[in-house]
Amino acid sequence: MIHDWDTHFWMARVPSEEWEEWISAEDHGSHEPIFQTANKIRIEPITTLSAQAILEAEVPDGYTAFLRTDRIEIVMKGPDAARVPKLIYVMALEKGHWDDPGRVPLSTVPLKDGFRAELRIFPDGHGEVDFNSSGNFISEVANMGECDLYRFTEV
């Protein structure tokens, strides 16, 4: 589902007899079984007003993909509240199998063989990407004109 406050949405390439078939958050949830067949996942800006960053990863055999949107609500508001992200789009891969991974708290999945990437969206609309890996994935960024493409690749 894409909410009216979302700045980005996910897409996933799934096996198909066609040349390529992509599903997205527009019609699917990443907790659906079809998402677990994806061999490539992306997080993309919804409009040109969104932070112009794309996150992309191939999903190697034997890995499980997790997508989460973390939201931050303010209990007590000091001046620094304007300087922290409001939304965080999380892309994670981890080697292994989880039943119903869309319902697994990501905090219970140790980073042993995989990566965690976060696209942090700040109140002023700008975005920052953070990447943590177990060591066998790297992050590369390429400028695609108006947009930065962050690719997370197994090495």
Partner 1 sequence: MPVCIKRAYGSGPSEIDISGGAEPIGLKLKTYDGNTTESYLFNATHPVPKPSSGNKHSYTATIFLHSDELNTEIYSDPKIYSGGVPAVPDPNPNGYVAWTGAQIFVADDTNDTYTQAAGVQDDSGTEMVAQGLTSSKTDLLATYNASNMKSVGLVGGVGSIGPITSAQRISKYVRLQGTLGTTCSAGSTVPATIYMRYSVTS
Count of residues in contact with partner 1, rule CB under 8 A: 34
**Subset of 2-21 contacting partner 1 (CB under 8 A):** 5, 9-10
Q: How far apart are CA 16 and CA 134, in angstroms?
A: 31
6 vs 154 by CB, closer to partner 1: 6
Ranges within 62-121 binding partner 1 (CB under 8 A): 67-81, 84, 88-90, 102-108
Shortest gap between Cβ of 103 and partner 1 (angstroms)? 4
| Shortest separation between residue 73's beta carbon and partner 1, angstroms | 4
Least distance to partner 1, CB of residue 145, Å: 26
C-alpha 51 chain-centroid distance? 14
Q: Which is nearer to partner 1, 78 or 110 (CB)?
A: 78
Contact 152, 139 (CB under 8 A): yes
Find the shortest distance in angstroms from Cβ 77 to partner 1: 5
CB of 66 closer than 8 Å to CB of 101:
yes
d(CA 33, CA 29): 9
Tokens representing residue 80 in the block: 């620094």
Residue 80 dihedral angles phi and psi, to the nearest 5°: -75, -10
| Shortest distance (Å) from residue 75 CB to partner 1 | 4
Spatial CA neighbour of 151 closest among 76, 14, 41, 56: 56
Q: With the C-alpha atoms ordered 152, 138, 148, 8, is the resulting torsion angle positive or negative?
A: positive
Region 29-58 residues binding partner 1, contact defined as CB under 8 A: 29-31
Footprint of partner 1 (CB under 8 A): 1, 5, 9-10, 25, 29-31, 67-81, 84, 88-90, 102-108
